[in-house]
Amino acid sequence: MNKQQAPDTFEPDIFVPVDRWTSPARDAAERDRLWPRTWQMVCREDRLGAVGSFVAHSIMDDPVLVIRTGEGPDDLSAIYNVCQHRGRRLVDRSHGMLGHEIPCRFHGWRFGWDGSLKSATNEEDWNGCSAFDKEALAIPQIRVGRWGGFVFVNLDPEAEPLESWIAPVAEALDPFHLEDCKPHFWARIEAPINWKVFVEAFNEAYHAGETHKLGIDYRPGVAPGAARGAHGMFWSEGGGLTSYRLRGANSWKTASTVQENLWANMAHQYDTLFALTLEPTMKAADRIKALPEGTSPEQVMDTFYAAVIEETEKTGAKFPRDLTLAAWKQAGTDWHIFPNMIILPSLDGALVYRAVPDEKDRDMCTVDIWSLGRYPADYAGPEAPSLFEGFEAFRGNNPFLEEDFDNMEAVNEGMKSRGFRGATFNPSQEAQIRHFHAMLDKFCGTP
Ligand code: FES
Ligand SMILES: [Fe+2]
């Protein structure tokens, strides 16, 4: 990895006390000071295609609606999903189409897409009453922004604009043009863990050698991490030629060439993760596996890259020309967008996670997982997520991720023991999680 990716902050204090995960005071601080003040991803932009379409989302106790109001990409409105008469949640559905007036089904007040109060039932009853001011009775608007094909909202009118907040991530990931990608799969798991346990597990690869033993030996590699603005990232280093056991083989084999090594890594993702390596990259890896021994690593990579472009375009999809080999390498492996989103970019698209905390139960969160790929314009992808009640229900769907999930409930439980004092982070390969906690402290204070 080149020098530009050396950590831009150094956190010498690698110990984080357990109360950052377990104290009710911290839970309350997150509720009051973190979620209402940070940019939250609501959905993929293609969920808001037609004018009048909406997606509902909840940020702890605050239900929000994002509505497509016009044909322009920025014609989006975000409002609280709350009737201003007596506080009933305005729209009960999770997504769909809205008429120009949104009726409240309690007493029938009607609101516009911008939150304006259009009419109140028996409006004449308020005649002359100064407390009935239609302008003041509009539903408050919420800030909305777009990046990478995702729609974000922020409940804080004073918050930093999305553009500058996300800039360090955008700088690295914009060449991947995630806005042009579509979901290969989209899963939603009701996960019985605190949201931070989920985010942290996907914000490092220090665990890879011990946790992921299915088909690739990750032990020789390391994955140093760093802070990037409010966010964090890591990249992969070393590892050399890997050992692998793939596709029903009963013994491990060590790759003897760079091309075989690349193929094995891609094949493992393609077979067990169903993300990062999709059809075009797998076909390209199959092609370069046949390159003669002695082909230089540079030539292997150049041939591989050209093959990925060719295989992508063969499907009718576009391959972004600014996604060069250098841009791919520069982006690293994994990005954490503070506080609750993870993106792993790849030539075929990305693997994306979001953990949304449950407003009632600190040991529950809703996890969404998108495998994004490059597809022709007429491909729509799944319209709704596949739903799973807990990690066990998900079993059989993704062998790679199941290895990660196997740790999570055990961490969530183990942390609550009076025998655990706190986390001692690896100063190199978990620096980005240490930074996550520095950011949490900044927003929430210390318990
Ligand atoms: S609460 Fe919505 S109209 Fe009464
Ligand atoms: Fe993992």
Segment 129-174, tens digit of pLDDT: 988 999 999 999 999 999 999 999 999 999 999 999 999 999 999 9
Segment 258-267, tens digit of pLDDT: 999 999 999 9
The phi, psi pair for 411, rounded to 5°, reads: -70, -45
What residue segments make up the domains of the chain, in order of their start?
A: 1-38+169-240+318-447, 40-158
Segment 214-223, tens digit of pLDDT: 999 999 999 9
Q: Please identify, by atom number, the ligand 1 atom nearest to the C-alpha of residue 83.
A: 2
Instruction: Kindly report the number of other CB atoms within 10 A of residue 262's CB atom.
Output: 21
What is the per-residue pLDDT for 294? 93
Segment 234-263, tens digit of pLDDT: 999 988 899 999 999 999 999 999 999 999
What is the per-residue pLDDT for 12? 59
Segment 302-336, tens digit of pLDDT: 999 999 999 999 999 999 999 999 999 999 999 99
Residue 109 to residue 106: CA distance in whole angstroms:
8
Over the chain, what is the mean pLDDT?
A: 95
Tell me the ligand closest to 200's alpha carbon.
2
> Which two three-digit tokens encode residue 80?
């609280």
* Ligand 2 centroid from CA 202, angstroms: 6
| Mean pLDDT along residues 192-204 | 98
Tell me the ligand closest to 216's alpha carbon.
2
Segment 88-107, tens digit of pLDDT: 999 999 999 999 999 999 99
Whether this model's pTM surpasses 0.75? yes
Take atom 3 of ligand 1 and give the residue whose Cα is closest. 107
Half-sphere exposure of 443 (CA within 13 A, CB side): 25
* Ligand 1 centroid from CA 134, angstroms: 14
Segment 61-78, tens digit of pLDDT: 999 999 999 999 999 999
The CATH number of 1-38+169-240+318-447, from 3.40.50.970, 2.60.40.1840, 3.30.70.600, 3.90.380.10, is: 3.90.380.10
Residue 245 to residue 201: CA distance in whole angstroms:
24
Q: Is the pLDDT of residue 27 over 50?
A: yes
pLDDT-derived band of residue 122, with 50, 70 and 90 as boundaries? Answer: very high
Segment 258-311, tens digit of pLDDT: 999 999 999 999 999 999 999 999 999 999 999 999 999 999 999 999 999 999
Take atom 4 of ligand 1 and give the residue whose Cα is closest. 107
Contact 340, 199 (CB under 8 A): yes
Contact 286, 274 (CB under 8 A): no
Contact 342, 367 (CB under 8 A): no
Q: Is the pLDDT of residue 23 over 70?
A: yes
* Ligand 2 centroid from CA 75, angstroms: 38
What number does CATH give the domain 40-158? 2.102.10.10
What is the per-residue pLDDT for 128? 83
Q: Is the pLDDT of residue 30 over 50?
A: yes
Q: Please identify, by atom number, the ligand 1 atom nearest to the C-alpha of residue 107.
A: 3
Q: Ligand 1: which residues within 6 Å by Cβ?
A: 83, 85-86, 88, 104, 106-109
Take atom 1 of ligand 1 and give the residue whose Cα is closest. 86
* Ligand 2 centroid from CA 203, angstroms: 9
What is the per-residue pLDDT for 424? 95
Q: Which of 86, 118, 125, 134 to mutate to test the pocket of ligand 1 (most atoms within 8 A of CB)?
A: 86
What is the per-residue pLDDT for 339? 98
Segment 348-388, tens digit of pLDDT: 999 999 999 999 999 999 999 999 999 999 999 998 999 99
pLDDT-derived band of residue 2, with 50, 70 and 90 as boundaries? Answer: very low
What is the per-residue pLDDT for 13? 83
Residue 73 to residue 49: CA distance in whole angstroms:
10
* Ligand 1 centroid from CA 86, angstroms: 5
pLDDT-derived band of residue 7, with 50, 70 and 90 as boundaries? Answer: very low
pLDDT-derived band of residue 447, with 50, 70 and 90 as boundaries? Answer: confident
* Ligand 1 centroid from CA 118, angstroms: 13
Tell me the ligand closest to 398's alpha carbon.
2
